[in-house]
Structure 1
Amino acid sequence: MTTFALIGAGPGLGLATARRFGTAGHAVALVSRDARKLEELAAELARDGIRAHGFAADVLDPASLTTALRDASETLGPIEILQYSPVPRADFMKPVLDTSADDLEAPLSFSVKGPVTAVNAVLPGMRALGRGTLLFVNGGSAVRPHPDRAGTSVAFAAESAYARMLHEALAPENIHAAQLIIPGAIRPDAEHSSPEVLARRLYDLHAERDGFRHYAEPLPD
């Protein structure tokens, strides 16, 4: 059994995606800051017959993230799929004219240093398996910067560049990097952006391994 590692585990998209990969036969490693929430999510997945375990870490703390992913691999089995989809903090979204250089430090750590740390932690295991998938989930500001959300616009664009480079560099090693852009809000009643629909899309990106950037729905005009 290989492991699906979810960075940014929560009760919406995170839980739906964990359930989708878990029902496909993968163990599930849930990673977020809140250990109590992780226990609740793991218990809910266990009721569905999914082997899941929580590993507390903060994506702004590279050492804790590396430790969590190492422990996940040792506890559950080698990580074949990594999904990086933590929810950005509200204070990352200041208007561009109110944004200082210091204001960009945390968003860039969140969306660049975090993914780089996570990928470096799981890549040796994927290479040993001879296969792997790296999934990056971003909002629409990753491809269309928004002047009222400067921090995420800058940081998501940098994360996108990193992920695309991985897509090209790792393809010869049978490791697929893909990005899913979700332009609007994730809502249970949304036709294209409900947690369950998005979870199926993310699983399909892993299974079909077709191209780099995908959209949950078209970007609004």
Structure 2
Amino acid sequence: MVVVSSMAIVGAGPGLGAAVARRFGREGFGIALVARDRERLDALVRELGETGITVRGFAADVRRPEELAHALDEAGRALGTVEVLQYSPVPHRDFMRPVLETGHRELVGPIEFSVYGPVAAVQQVLPGMRRLGRGTILFVNGGTAVVPRPERAGTSIAFAAETAYGHLLHERLAGEGIHVGQLVIPGSITAGHARKDPRVLAQLLWNMHRERHGFRHFADDLDS
């Protein structure tokens, strides 16, 4: 397969990450998978590689910005300039504490995860996109990015900050041919669901990359 450009999926796993890798890989993109667990990452790379996709794995923790930036730098060197960045790691359960049980220390993890990580990732790949004269940055968030929940204070606060960052990028970079979009997925990603099956979501993300209109898109109704 001739690789036309590369895509980096931060927080890649066997569900949405694998589905997106297959969808973009079919279009000729080289795929860089970024995740913490090297063993699971290697298994996913082997599985996807058997389908003919050009894919490599890069281990990094999104809560360590320098580590994440290094992984994306390696990805660009191995697969070519990153044209599409997807930031979609799944938040830790301990980020979802009730608001009255959430002190400043409990917010460190969510902020590292949903603010420092995205900023580090974008800053690493943006120069390459600017050299290409094109690019797409996709943020994937849960419903608390739009409707804060008092029982999920960490993600509600951190996703709101990530959303603000993404929206600022959307407005600032549009004139440079770089599209920034957010996909909000209320509830759980569910195999077989008409709107939240991984393959359905992967197609939606592909459409966002191709159609390049608007910042926020919804996978399903917020009250579902």
TM range (shorter): over 0.9
What count of residue pairs does the alignment treat as equivalent? Answer: 221
Alignment deviations for residues 96-149 of structure 1 (CA, whole Å, 9 cap, x no partner):
011001100110010000000000000000001000000000000000000000
Aligned residue number for residue 126 of structure 1: 129
In structure 2, what residue type is equivalent to 1:54?
G
Aligned residue number for residue 98 of structure 1: 101
Partner-residue secondary structure (3-state), 2:46? helix
Which whole-Å CA distance do the structure 1 matches of 2:220 and 2:154 have between them? 23
Q: Which runs of 5+ in 1 are unaligned?
A: none
Which whole-Å CA distance do the structure 1 matches of 2:171 and 2:149 have between them? 27
In structure 2, what residue type is equivalent to 1:62?
P
Indicate which of 24, 28, 53 corresponds to 1:25. 28
Which whole-Å CA distance do the structure 2 matches of 1:11 and 1:148 have between them? 28
Query: How far off its partner does 1:48 sit?
Result: 1.0
In structure 2, what residue type is equivalent to 1:17?
V
Alignment deviations for residues 30-61 of structure 1 (CA, whole Å, 9 cap, x no partner):
00001111111111111111000000000000
In structure 2, what residue type is equivalent to 1:127?
R
Query: How far off its partner does 1:217 sit?
Result: 1.0
Alignment deviations for residues 134-190 of structure 1 (CA, whole Å, 9 cap, x no partner):
000000000000000000000000000000000000001000000000011111021
Which whole-Å CA distance do the structure 1 matches of 2:102 and 2:53 have between them? 43
Indicate which of 83, 87, 94 corresponds to 1:84. 87
Alignment of 1:196-211 (within 5 A): 196-211=199-214
Aligned residue number for residue 120 of structure 2: 117
Runs of 4+ residues deviating >4 angstroms: none
In structure 2, what residue type is equivalent to 1:121?
Q
Aligned residue number for residue 216 of structure 1: 219
Work out the percentage of aligned pairs sharing the same amino acid: 57
Q: Which runs of 5+ in 2 are unaligned?
A: none
In structure 1, what residue type is equivalent to 2:78?
T
Residue 160 (structure 2) pairs with residue 157 (structure 1)? yes
Residue 54 (structure 2) pairs with residue 57 (structure 1)? no
Which whole-Å CA distance do the structure 1 matches of 2:113 and 2:180 have between them? 19
Which whole-Å CA distance do the structure 1 matches of 2:40 and 2:128 have between them? 27
Residue 144 (structure 2) pairs with residue 141 (structure 1)? yes
TM value normalised by structure 1: 0.99
Alignment deviations for residues 57-94 of structure 1 (CA, whole Å, 9 cap, x no partner):
00000111010000000001110000000000000000
Aligned-residue Cα RMSD (Å) equals: 0.7
In structure 1, what residue type is equivalent to 2:111?
L
